[in-house]
Amino acid sequence: MLQRFIIFLLSFTLFTFDLENFVGKKTHASSILILPEKRPYMSNKYNFSLGTINDMILKEGGKTIGKILKQKIKKNETLSLFLERAGYQNKQINAIIAKIKSNHPSIQILRNIPTNHLINYSVPKNNLGFGINFKIGKYKDLYVWQDNLGKIETEITRRPFKEIKYLNKIEITDNLYNSSLRSKLPKKIFSELVKILGFSIDFQRELRKGDIFETLYSQKLDLITNEIIESNPIHYISAKLKDNHLKFYRFTNRYGEANFFDEDGKSSRKTLMKTPLNGARLSSGFGNRKHPILGFTKMHRGVDFAAPIGTPIFAAGDGIIEYSGWNGAYGKYIRIKHNNTFKTAYAHLSKIYKKRGMRIKQGDIIGALGSTGRSTGPHLHYEILLGGRQVNPLRIKLPSGKNIPNNEMANFHEQREIINSKIFAMQNNIKSKEFAFLKNLQKN
């Protein structure tokens, strides 16, 4: 009998102590008879999210903390205001916020939780404690819970995701954009595709019905919600045009920088020549100068290269002739559109070899140096236009366009062949087992 009484006293003391710890007030006499339920203990630190806080607790073999509710953050609502709305007491709220801030001083989300952000939570109960969890960015979760001793614990975990590769095929029916919408290529991937191919293809003029674009890209799938978190990146693009087949592979170099290269390791980004002729000297730079003919100070929006009349002038980059002919003070003039960003212009020419609308390659001879228009002597006036405005050709940072260096070529070939194998398997619907078999066949 005495033994029993001692046990009763003992459990009473433990229970009261426990409750005081997490609600901070004395409990009712009626609840003394109920033994405390097992609360989340969570001795393990989890790296990966497991869904709601209850999923975490169940993994530990604990008793769940009641029903998990889901609610969205309202406009201008902070986590504190949200918890108040959800039925938390001020004392609990202050303790929770203080704990999150001290455990994770660098997380930004508490400062500005987006409207409609989903919060999973349980309403605090004396015997069960509470639990809260929500996403931070795309890849992480924040868990906050009260452990079996009433202490507030927090943990940031990574959400599990899976990367899936897709091979998208666009067949041109009208324009590239509409055709890509029909092929269900994600918009983000489409705009990346345009950027990569923009140096090589003029989308307005060069595309024909029946041209085919193939894009190998990845999507990341959140394994908890089954939602697509991100469409990224492109691994490969092929553009099969009427008389041009372009292929670009993504390659990550030893410094971790990723760029696109053709099969031979040449960059998809084509740079512009800063000096589009040989054997010239710079005779006048970019900027304010006293104009040699007009006599007053005028902004010089290009650079002048002095050289003998007839010196061949090269196209500074691949592109399409946008203007070809007499152009006032510029005299005989050519302007090339290289892509949506860059144009180059060549003035005072003596001869013009290319007509408007012609497609030209970097280094093609487009005209000959002269002194036509408002010119004091034989020279080329050269302009680079960025978004329609002249910029200093000698200062501007042009797209790097670096090719793969020899010492990275083997690595590039390997990455290229992995991509080629993947595409081959996807095009032919080869499952992984059969594919391994085929690979072995090739070896023998």
Provide the binding-site residues for Zn ion, judged by CB under 5 A: 302, 304, 381
> How near is the Cβ of 371 to Zn ion at its closest, in Å?
12
Name every residue whose Cβ is closer than 8 Å to that of residue 73 and which is 6 or more positions away in sequence.
79, 82, 113, 114, 115, 116, 117, 118, 119
> How near is the Cβ of 289 to Zn ion at its closest, in Å?
9
Cβ-based nearer residue to Zn ion, 209 or 281: 281
| Cis geometry, peptide bond prior to residue 233 (ω within 30 degrees of 0) | yes
> How near is the Cβ of 350 to Zn ion at its closest, in Å?
15
Q: How many helices (H) and strands (E) does the chain have?
A: 8, 23
Residue with tokens 């000096």: 275
> How near is the Cβ of 355 to Zn ion at its closest, in Å?
24
For 393, other C-beta atoms within 10 Å of its C-beta total: 22
Q: How many residues does the chain have?
A: 444
Cβ-based nearer residue to Zn ion, 338 or 381: 381
> How near is the Cβ of 331 to Zn ion at its closest, in Å?
11
> How near is the Cβ of 354 to Zn ion at its closest, in Å?
21
Cβ-based nearer residue to Zn ion, 195 or 301: 301
Cβ-based nearer residue to Zn ion, 192 or 304: 304
Cβ-based nearer residue to Zn ion, 90 or 376: 376
> How near is the Cβ of 301 to Zn ion at its closest, in Å?
8
Distance between CA atoms of 394 and 285, rounded to whole angstroms? 9
The shares of helix, strand and coil residues in the chain, as percent rounded to the nearest 5, are 25, 30, 45
Cα separation values, 7 from 4, 13, 73, 336, Å: 5, 10, 47, 93
Distance between CA atoms of 233 and 362, rounded to whole angstroms? 29
> How near is the Cβ of 382 to Zn ion at its closest, in Å?
8
Residue with tokens 């609502």: 77
Cβ-based nearer residue to Zn ion, 381 or 416: 381
Distance between CA atoms of 94 and 79, rounded to whole angstroms? 10
Do residues 348 and 370 lie in contact, with contact meaning Cβ atoms separated by under 8 Å? yes
Burial of 341 (0-12, 13-18, 19+ CB in 10 A): middle
> How near is the Cβ of 329 to Zn ion at its closest, in Å?
10
Distance between CA atoms of 177 and 193, rounded to whole angstroms? 11
Cβ-based nearer residue to Zn ion, 247 or 379: 379
Cβ-based nearer residue to Zn ion, 220 or 381: 381
Cβ-based nearer residue to Zn ion, 117 or 381: 381
Distance between CA atoms of 159 and 354, rounded to whole angstroms? 57
> By Cβ distance, which residue is nearest to Zn ion?
381
Closest by CA to 185, choosing from 201, 197, 169, is 169
